[in-house]
Amino acid sequence: MENSFPSSTQSPPKPHIVLFPFMSKGHTIPLLHLARLLLRRDASITIFTTPANAPFITKSLPSNHPHLTILTLPFPHHHPPLPPGVESTDKLPSISLFLPFVSASKLLKPHFDLALPPSPPPPPPSSPTASSHGLSPPLPPSPFLASNYAVAVSRAVSLHRLVATVNSPDEPFSIPTFPWIRLTINDLDPPFNDPNPSGPLFDHVMEVAMATMNSHGMLVNSFYELEPVFADNIIRDLKLKTWNVGPLSLAVAEDQQQQQHETILNNHHDDKNKRSYYMQWLDEMEKEGKSVLYVAFGSQADISKAQIMEIGHGLEKSGVNFMWVVRSSSSHAPEHESCTYKNDDDDESILLWFGEFEERVRGRGVVVREWVEQVNVLMHRVVRGFMSHCGWNSVVESVCAGVVLVAWPMMAEQHLNARMVVEELGVGVRVTAEGGGVRGFVKAEMVEAAVREVMEGERGKEVRRRVEELREGARKAVREGGSSWKALDDLLQEIN
């Protein structure tokens, strides 16, 4: 982040903020929301991206904004084992290619350094704002889009080496820092589930941790009232500044609605303004007085065909109305919030199964194979439940919509997010695997049970009351004078 250095007679400077989202939709989308907010606060924004990601970024932001610049950097064309043309994690054939993707991303740094906007005149060397690029503050905040809970709990588990104290992956253990929390090794992904971590993934995690600790602070896509104990823990124990400026999707909702309104007024091609077929389907469900379960598992996790079929059988047996977003890992369609299944070119069995499945659930279930505007889906009045992988963006978007969660985590910090959703926030129920654990194959009966509990059971009524309370808290936080509004103001004031 940079700004000019005015004389005492000049007006306050306009901050110039550089954003470079990691090439993953879960990171990019919240930072685009942040860019919208910063533009509304009279900041100048430069966003760095790569050629394949530029169209998504361009269409997501106000066109021809005088204070917005989008710069593209060349992504490495030949970096085995990455397939050619893959420039974002949602295009990876397998999540096992994540580390090679990170390695390729690091090769962007020289291009980034050369393309940085011109720096303002540096302050005196004794000034705390002096830096190699003349940036202010000397190290830019590192946007950290996970929950405060996941960060604080992961750190506590590692600090106390708790995974070395248990004998099996499903054996519960408590955390001295947060004694009311009970975890298992199966709630943790590598390298946090290893008592003696090592290797490339551990090295990457440590590199990110050190960069974060050496940064000026963290931006968190959360609001303070959602997780105050864990937000305070990060500030106190990590000695790291944090700005809880979210939920970013809710904070920009008013701006997005205004832009959509202007688009409709200025667009004379009616066919471009037609409501998507899946939103029309939701409209029809509302006319019939029905409620709908939304099902989507993000774009990163690979789900087996057998598990996909069990999900379908569970949804079918539950009797509820549902909208299920799916795609094949071989799909070249744009950014999905969806469930990814492995589809071998020589195996059409899953495609045949889907055809038969859709016939059986016709009238009460729809399978969507295209990118969906998830926030719009969740905000639809007919959507009452969300079966989710508990990626953090999905969690906060669901809370903001007042929609309860059926928590089915897949990878990364999602298991911790699921613990938070069910046990800390009380806004969802957990899908249970075979044997009662938190990982493993999930039978159709368990899918059916979790869905019925949320959509029809007493537990569903209880968690729905709680999510309504949190929705109101989120709205207060992002309104003028709320905690997230003030946090963004504090950040801009500190830059200046």
Q: What is the pLDDT of residues 109-133, one digit of tens each?
A: 999 989 886 655 444 433 333 233 3
| Inter-CA distances, 162 with 71, 126, 159, 210, 229, Å | 44, 44, 8, 21, 21
Confidence class of residue 303 from pLDDT cuts 50, 70 and 90? confident
Q: Per-residue pLDDT for 177 more than 50? A: yes
Average pLDDT over residues 63-82: 90
| Res 120: pLDDT | 52
Q: Which residue has the higher pLDDT, 165 or 335?
A: 165
Q: Per-residue pLDDT for 206 more than 80? A: yes
Confidence class of residue 213 from pLDDT cuts 50, 70 and 90? confident
| Res 129: pLDDT | 30
Q: Do β-strands 16-19 and 44-49 pair in parallel, antiparallel, or remain unpaired? A: parallel
Q: Please report the beta strands in 215-291, taking only residues with DSSP state E, as ranges in sequence order.
A: 218-220, 242-244
Average pLDDT over residues 271-300: 86
Q: Per-residue pLDDT for 98 more than 50? A: yes
Average pLDDT over residues 423-442: 91
Q: Per-residue pLDDT for 142 more than 60? A: no
In 3D space, the residue among 474, 290, 300 whose CA is nearest the CA of residue 400 turns out to be 474
Average pLDDT over residues 315-320: 95
Q: Locate 293 and state its tokens.
A: 């379960």
| Cα distance between residue 55 and residue 72, in whole Å | 11
Q: Do β-strands 173-175 and 178-183 pair in parallel, antiparallel, or remain unpaired? A: antiparallel
Confidence class of residue 247 from pLDDT cuts 50, 70 and 90? very high
Q: Per-residue pLDDT for 180 more than 90? A: yes
